[in-house]
Amino acid sequence: MNVNSPAAFFVGNIPVFGNLILSPMDGLSERPFRSLVRKSGSAMSYTEFINAMDVLAGIPRIQKKIAYYEFERPVVFQIFDDDPDRILNAARQLIPFQPDILDINMGCSAHHVAGRGAGAGLLPQPHKVASIIQNLVRNLPIPITAKIRLGWDDHNRNYLEIARIVEDCGAQLIAVHGRTKAQGYSGRADWDAIAEIKTLLHIPVIANGDVQSVANIQRIQTHTRCDGVMIGRAALFNPWIFSYRDRQQVSQKEVKLWIDTHLNEMIEFHGIDQGLILFRKYLKRLLSPYQLNEETILPLLTETDLDKFKHNLDLLFNSSLIFKP
């Protein structure tokens, strides 16, 4: 973050110094990965989504979901539920942990979330969206934002109505994934729809969907005139995209350094055994551009001894099996 440069945009009165942002991803955008990406150029830190019912029940895992480093600010806690009062009560319990912004998840398409009317399940319920945003804006001291999809399915694309409600009820930013709930992550993201929302609203609009390269960043910005670009799945195999570098521009040495640093963060955060196990999902994606065969990568993804894992990783990177992607 270069605070000597002009802010790219503001969320309420909070300046954001950059226009590339790591998308919140359940089980992935936890502090170890998210903080490294923040150092790489992501301009804000969104937590994984937080279940309001878990907050109210005092479920211990919430502490890890809301953990962040001070340098990550502005920090956004993303919350989900289908009940306006539950969301407000949970949000009040989260405020003492000093998030800069609270975001409402209206984009998750997973059945266990959308199927109970939360996440993207809120999109067919505009009155409930209005109630949630109004409740939070009236009762909380920090900016409220929202992340949405285009609608439930192709027959119910009510994104303009939802976007207008989000702004009219006092939210300070909207992030838009250019797909419907029914699409999940299939098909193409509709950048035209994001551009429509940007034309309609006065608050910042963040574009999300099908951004895989630096060229994609430039194209989606030109196409939508958005204030920022949110990148999710592509960041898992190329976290350097936030510093405007495609994966083929990243050296083998840099990849190895990232892996070592991320692994250390995971172990510090989760402990040795759990940290190593959970690190595998990141490692598999980081190594995917090298197109390694299963015989080569399987021992790494199944090793449970940390010293052996590090030894095997060193052997891999010192071998001829790794080549520039």
Point out the residues that are catalytic.
Answer: 108
Q: By CB neighbour count within 10 A (0-12 exposed, 13-18 middle, 19+ buried), where does 176 fall? A: buried
In one-letter notation, the amino acid at residue 58 is G
Tell me how far the alpha carbon of residue 72 is from its chain's centroid. Answer: 13
The enclosing H or E element of 174 equals strand 173-177
Beta bridge partners of 49: 78
Torsion-angle region of 49 (φ positive above 0: left; ψ -120 to 50: alpha; else: beta): beta
Q: Is 324 helix (H, G, I), strand (E, B) or coil?
A: coil
b/e 272-293 (16+ beta carbons within 10 angstroms → b) = eeebbebbbebbebbbebbebe
Prior bond of 74 cis (ω within 30°) = yes
**Nearest-CA neighbor of 265 among 256, 276, 254?**
276
Alpha helices by DSSP H, listed for 225-251, are 234-237
b/e 201-219 (16+ beta carbons within 10 angstroms → b) = bebbbbbbbbbeebebbee
Contact 64, 95 (CB under 8 A): no
In one-letter notation, the amino acid at residue 79 is I
